Structure 1
Amino acid sequence: MTEPSRLRLTGYAAAQLLLGILALVLLVLTVIGGALLIVWVGALLLAVALPSTRAIAGWQRQMAADVLGVEVPRPYRPVPRRPLAALAAVARDPMTWRDLGWLLWASTLGWIISLLCVLEMLVAVWPLWWFTVRPKMEIRSQIDLWFLAPGRIESLERRVRVLTETRADAVDHAAAELRRLERDLHDGPQARLVALSMSLGLAEQAMGSDPVLAEKLIGEARRTASAAIGDLRSVVRGIHPPVLADRGLGGAVEALALDMALPVRIEVDLPGRPSAPVESAVYFAVAECLANLGKHSRATHATVDLRHDGERLRVIVADDGVGGADPSAGTGMLGIRRRLASFDGTMVVTSPPGGPTEILLEVPCDLSSPRTTPSSAPG
């Protein structure tokens, strides 16, 4: 992340002067609204003050994160749609009270720090401004994030919520997979094995009286056995494709690309292999993306870029199709999101109407053994 210039830092300080004035107004409105909450006027004031506070706190959170070169997630809990339930949820959110503390800081000492940064440049105290604007803004940003970034307890609570949700999704996904396997085995191999048993039984009965019929039935049984073996291989391939175990993620994705009706360029930069569960989850996620691409995108070309940045596995699936992909519509995209969430992974879809479409898949993981696939392959 590029370090912001001194002029940019001063611009942030100027913006914080305006935010400080707004912070003071919102602090007064919040205090008055809380005092008058027993009547409808108080609830109305809070309905204006609290969302506004979160908005300007979000702006300050972004500025502070840029000054310090860090990433700060949005820390608030989900808010229900119903007004009274929303007000109660906001009141119970610990970040609401941290925001109120930030309003007091931003409208007093924080505001003074930002004012000094701006005045030092405006009155041409250049040496002082040059050497002190950065440390002053860093101090201010650290204190801002002490209020506005989630604390340890809030982070743990958020982590517990995420784990609870992903565990439930993982359990549902596992149950769905078991039902699918049961259905596939019942409709495929089991039915063929029943037919095989019947053919062999009839052949056994006809062996003495009608050898020709017995030979015919044995031939049918052999063909049925071959078909059952094929069905079993298909079921096993749906659990963990052999190509994934043999060639790794890059090679398995290349094999997927070869089955596509349009050219797909594959770029792989993986100095090792992720764990088998992560590898399998990402493989099936890419497979679903390519399947959707082939069915809906009307694209003429696509790319899949796989690489590891030292902390996470990143996959970008892009195409030049018509766009308009909605990750909340249908079960395919939702299935990808649930599959990756089990490993703290994420999916981000960028697909404006008219295209192009880009799907970013990220999963935190380490790599182990040396790579087993070439660095790139043409589609």
Structure 2
Amino acid sequence: MITKAGRALAYVATGLFAGVLGFVWSVAATLAVVLTSVTHLGGHVFLGVAWVTRRFAGVERRRAGWVLGAPIAAPYVPVSGDRVRKRVGAVAGQPATWRDLAWLVLLLPVGLITGVAGLVVAVVGLATVAAPAWAWAVPNPHAPFPMRPLLTTMPGRFGSTVIGLALLPVVIWIVRILGAAAARLASALLAPGEHRRLVDEATRLAETRRRVVDAQAAELRRIERDLHDGAQARIVAAGMTLALAARKLRADSDAAPDVDLARRQLDDALGELRRLVRGIHPPILTDRGLHASLAALAGDSPFPVQLRGDRDARYPAAVESAAYFVVAEGLTNAAKHAAATAGTIDVARVGDLVRVEVHDNGRGGADPAGAGLDGLRRRVEALDGALTLTSPAGGPTILRAELPCAS
């Protein structure tokens, strides 16, 4: 109890000096930002002032932790971007920036009230307990009753000690109440608010979704591998066995047609299985990467397609899979519905995004709400990406997907 009271007394006592410093800094910072806001230095000054203010507020959070038991958590949202204007907008858009400034302004009256009251109560309480050690040095025969006997006589001085010890719990309670009131007010302004909670929740959901998408992609790769190494291999083996049986049965004209039919059925099943495997997850994506798989799509296209992009670039598996199916759908639609004679595939990384574009010179007029494009849009949006289609009548058609690299 005494330790907590000591921390509370230290908090309200240092609040006197912190309040003066905070108020002086708030006024100086506000003037600096206002005076430079019409110049090219305005953004830099604002960012510098915000940096210092956050450091000052960080000290206040640790100081309030003396009373609260733990420092107040920082409420700031990370700011990214290399442009000053963008960073200024991001910092100014956070409520914590202005709540820090509000606390530094309020810290002066709060610090004065709690600091003066806490120190007076503590000093009076301790002085009463220690009366025998100092009261003899300040005799005052004209002091009113009951102060005169308490200060001018030895029994009275020891009586003051007894009174002080009796009132010490009250003194401790008052000091703790003053410290707790100031610390709770600091927590109300400096602790993470609804904005930070929503940002943290959005980050957590994005991370959870990323893990789910990665798990789904891994599961699709597992299914593709099992189909490729299991069922497909067995069908191939069965086909080879039937081929050997056909050679042995050539003398039997009745059995040979049935064996040949079985071989054709196995070939059809194998082709269907391979198409199914490619539709789940193209093996070439895992083996050789996005650029090689897109090159294979371009090579299979019925019209010439030019591929532009970094050959060695690799991206998260879910991103590569989505980009592959976007290109596959774009080329298929261009060949089947647009009568295109030439096309281009562009893959580039722009900041934190992978941008994939499929151009064709077909007749255009593609329906953005088509079933194929709608499925692609859901696949892309699951990664926090965006899919857009530009296809005026007469062409050309541009299918663009932007996929976050961190998804």
TM-score tier, shorter chain, comes to 0.3 to 0.5
TM-score (ref. length: structure 1): 0.46
TM-score (ref. length: structure 2): 0.43
- Higher Rg: 2
